[in-house]
Amino acid sequence: MIRALLIILVLLGAVITGLYFTVFQNNKQTLENVAIKNLAGNVVMSETLYDVDSVINYFSADCSSCSQTMKLLETSRNAKNPEYSNLKFSYIYFGDDVVAAKSVTEPLGIPEELVFLDEDTAFMQSFGGNSLPTTLFVEAGGRIGLRRTAIQNANYLIVSLKKFTR
């Protein structure tokens, strides 16, 4: 009886250890390098967005929480905080509608050179995205460090930025 209980405990420990390494240690995926367009219509490769540690926000014009998240990200980008000064910020629009993308980014003062179009959703597919807005905190080289959906307040964003930059 004791031997059977000991075997069960050892097996349970192995399962828990396996889950820990699967869920908490190996959950970082690397983005694929896909073609996206900038607002001027030029094709660029997505790897240029994460040649350094980066914050990439994926948005749509018909998503009310997207502009709220983007406003918070822009506040952080423009704050000139030394902790975040080495981060590159980019915004990727879900689709190919330049006018719709600008209808969100222009009122927020987001420079056009930071905005890209994911015409065929290849970028979204590269990170397994399924909801908007999604903000990716990407390590140089394309490995996703953190993934956040619908950042609704500044404190949550600050905690995410600090976790990513430490």
Whole-number pLDDT of residue 37: 93
Q: Is the dihedral of CA 157, 86, 30, 114 positive or negative?
A: positive
Same-domain check for residues 86 and 24:
no
Whole-number pLDDT of residue 40: 86
The pTM score is: 0.81
User: pLDDT tens digits for 68-83?
Assistant: 999 999 999 998 788 8
Same-domain check for residues 109 and 121:
yes
Phi-psi region of 55 (alpha: psi -120 to 50; beta: other; left: phi over 0): beta
As a whole number of angstroms, the distance between CA 127 and CA 13 comes to: 31
* Domain interval for residue 21: 1-28
User: pLDDT tens digits for 24-53?
Assistant: 434 578 999 999 999 988 999 999 999 999
Same-domain check for residues 84 and 106:
yes
Whole-number pLDDT of residue 130: 86
**CATH code, domain with 54:** 3.40.30.10
Which residues of the chain are modeled with pLDDT < 70?
Answer: 3-27
Instruction: Please name the residue that has the structure tokens 């905005």.
Output: 115
